């Protein structure tokens, strides 16, 4: 049975949810599922905004057919060519042989790489930045936003109802539970962590390109944002823009301490817990502690984007850095994390090198301030080292309270 919702009188959500997939991109855990959004615009001409992932193929196609209610489909707008949004293009072409596919030159290049759809040249409408397409009372204006999140990505602004079809931008992990609008859910409580984890891990590397897109779209009067994942925004858009502003400029969202530790036998973990308690005693309220061996790297990344201060605590392993910590740190570097204050704590029973290795990676990143006070354990925390740990806690707390 079809399962759709109206975004406005003429714009319909025709997407679907996947609550079975364990790993998005076969990498990122999605315990709350994920939605693949697609939208139909009904006017003198009809338009479908992107398609969907194969996992929801039949639901998606039924939804499209229901909303079109016997009408033909005139245009399929392809804002993004990643397979979670374009896998049903061939199905749509088969169902609606007259449909025109609208994309930019790169869209069609990538489409040809992924799929063999016959007669592509006859049905392709190649658009450039600033081009428009009239549907009747609705006008679609196309804006190129490369690398948010792939090079072919464009967004489409519908001028009469002031709706931005934003592709991956402003999306989030999480299935939509009937409530598809931001004003029907408690986003801050139930969705923000997934939204941050989605942005930082999927688009985090491309902050400069996200900034360019924000500036480019800044002059538009946007009343509704329809992303390809997660809720549709029809209120409180400045809240969402503020989050994107922080994430894309690598500005900490909160004055907070995130302690990421790796620990083989619990001794480095003990030092992490003692440091957290010392910080709390000094009045720091926003502290989060994660074991890098049992916390997915995507959550460590997300939390590192949120917090102003990061403590990395890890043992030395095979003369190098504990592998789980190395994974987190290299991912931080790959995703371009910048502008953080970092404290280092290492552990080694005979030849400790972990801090040196962590520092070497941090030095290749932009504007990462490593505190001079570091703590080096020999197997376990001892009385003599409590003073230096206390000094480190004071230094972090002073930074936090500024
Ligand atoms: Fe949801 Fe970049 O695809």
Alpha carbon of 146 to ligand 1 centroid (Å) = 13
Q: In a structure prediction context, what are the per-residue pLDDT tens digits for the chain, which is 402 residues long?
A: 999 999 999 999 999 999 999 999 999 999 999 999 999 999 999 999 999 999 999 999 999 999 999 999 999 999 999 999 999 999 999 999 999 999 999 999 999 999 987 777 789 999 999 999 999 999 999 999 999 999 999 999 999 999 999 999 999 999 999 999 999 999 999 999 999 999 999 999 999 999 999 999 999 999 999 999 999 999 999 999 999 999 999 999 999 999 999 999 999 999 999 999 999 999 999 999 999 999 999 999 999 999 999 999 999 999 999 999 999 999 999 999 999 999 999 999 999 999 999 999 999 999 999 999 889 999 999 999 999 999 999 999 999 965
Q: What is the pLDDT of residue 117?
A: 79
CB 191 within 8 A of CB 185: yes
Sign of CA dihedral 87, 93, 94, 96: positive
In three-state secondary structure terms, 122 is helix
Alpha carbon of 170 to ligand 1 centroid (Å) = 11
How far is it, in rounded angstroms, from Cα 277 to Cα 280? 5
Alpha carbon of 85 to ligand 1 centroid (Å) = 7
Q: What angle do CA 186, 171, 38 make, to 5 degrees?
A: 105
Q: What is the pLDDT of residue 25?
A: 97
The closest residue, in CA terms, to atom 3 on ligand 1 is 82
- Please give the C-alpha separations between residue 10 and each of 32, 55, 223, 250, 392, in angstroms, as whole numbers: 30, 27, 15, 38, 59
Alpha carbon of 174 to ligand 1 centroid (Å) = 14
Residue 153 CA: nearest ligand 1 atom is: 2
Q: At what angle do helices 297-306 and 323-334 cross, to 10 degrees?
A: 50
Q: What is the pLDDT of residue 151?
A: 97
CB 229 within 8 A of CB 28: no
Sign of CA dihedral 272, 276, 279, 285: positive
Instruction: Specify the DSSP element, H or E, that contains 290.
Output: strand 287-291
CB proximity list for 97: less than 8 A, separation 6 or greater: none
- What is the chain's alpha carbon radius of gyration, rounded to the nearest angstrom? 24
Alpha carbon of 149 to ligand 1 centroid (Å) = 7
Strand partners, 29: 23
Strands, E assignment, 98-253 = 100-103, 124-126, 132-134, 139-144, 154-158, 163-165, 224-226
Residue 202 CA: nearest ligand 1 atom is: 2
DSSP codes joined into one string, 39-55: EEEESSSEEEE----GG
Any idea what DSSP says for residue 219? T
In three-state secondary structure terms, 221 is coil
Q: What is the pLDDT of residue 102?
A: 98
User: In the structure, which protein residues have their CB atom closer than 6 angstroms to any atom of ligand 1?
Assistant: 80, 82, 84-85, 149-150, 168, 228-229
Residue 229 CA: nearest ligand 1 atom is: 1
Residue 228 CA: nearest ligand 1 atom is: 1
Q: What is the pLDDT of residue 295?
A: 98
């Amino acid at each position: 049975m079809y399962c759709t919702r109206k975004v406005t009188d003429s714009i319909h959500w025709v997407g679907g949810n996947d609550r079975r997939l364990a790993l998005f991109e076969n990498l990122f855990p999605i315990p709350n599922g994920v939605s693949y959004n697609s939208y139909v615009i009904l006017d003198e001409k009809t338009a479908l905004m992107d398609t969907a992932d194969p996992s929801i193929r039949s639901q998606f196609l039924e939804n499209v057919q229901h909303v079109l209610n016997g009408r033909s489909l005139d245009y399929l707008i392809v804002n993004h060519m990643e397979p979670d949004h374009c896998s049903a293009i061939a199905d749509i072409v088969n169902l609606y042989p007259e449909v025109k596919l609208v994309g930019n030159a790169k869209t069609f290049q990538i489409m040809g790489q992924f799929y063999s759809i016959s007669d592509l040249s006859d049905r392709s409408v190649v658009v450039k930045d600033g081009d428009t397409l009239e549907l009747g009372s609705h006008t679609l204006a196309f804006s190129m936003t490369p690398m948010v999140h792939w090079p072919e990505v464009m967004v489409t602004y519908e001028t009469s109802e002031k709706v931005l079809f934003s592709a991956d931008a402003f999306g989030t992990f999480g299935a939509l539970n009937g409530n598809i609008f931001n004003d029907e859910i408690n986003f801050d409580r139930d969705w923000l962590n997934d939204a941050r984890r989605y942005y930082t891990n999927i688009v985090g590397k491309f902050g400069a390109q996200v900034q360019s897109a924000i500036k480019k779209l800044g002059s538009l009067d946007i009343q509704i944002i329809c992303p390809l994942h997660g809720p549709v925004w029809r209120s409180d858009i400045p809240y969402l823009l503020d989050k994107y502003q922080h994430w894309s400029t690598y500005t900490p969202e909160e004055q907070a301490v995130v302690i990421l530790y790796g620990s083989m036998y619990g001794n480095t973990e003990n030092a992490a817990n003692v440091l957290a308690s010392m910080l709390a005693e000094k009045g720091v309220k926003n502290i989060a502690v994660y074991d890098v061996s049992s916390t997915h790297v995507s959550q460590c990344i997300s939390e590192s984007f949120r917090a102003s201060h990061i403590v990395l605590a890890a043992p030395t392993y095979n003369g190098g850095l504990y592998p789980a910590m190395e994974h987190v740190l290299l991912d931080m570097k790959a995703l371009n994390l910048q502008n953080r204050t970092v404290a280092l704590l290492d552990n080694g029973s005979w030849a400790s090198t972990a801090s040196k290795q962590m520092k070497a990676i941090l030095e290749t990143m932009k504007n990462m301030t490593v505190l001079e006070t570091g703590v080096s354990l020999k197997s376990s925390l001892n009385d003599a080292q409590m003073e230096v740990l206390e000094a480190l806690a004071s230094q972090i707390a002073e930074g936090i309270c500024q």
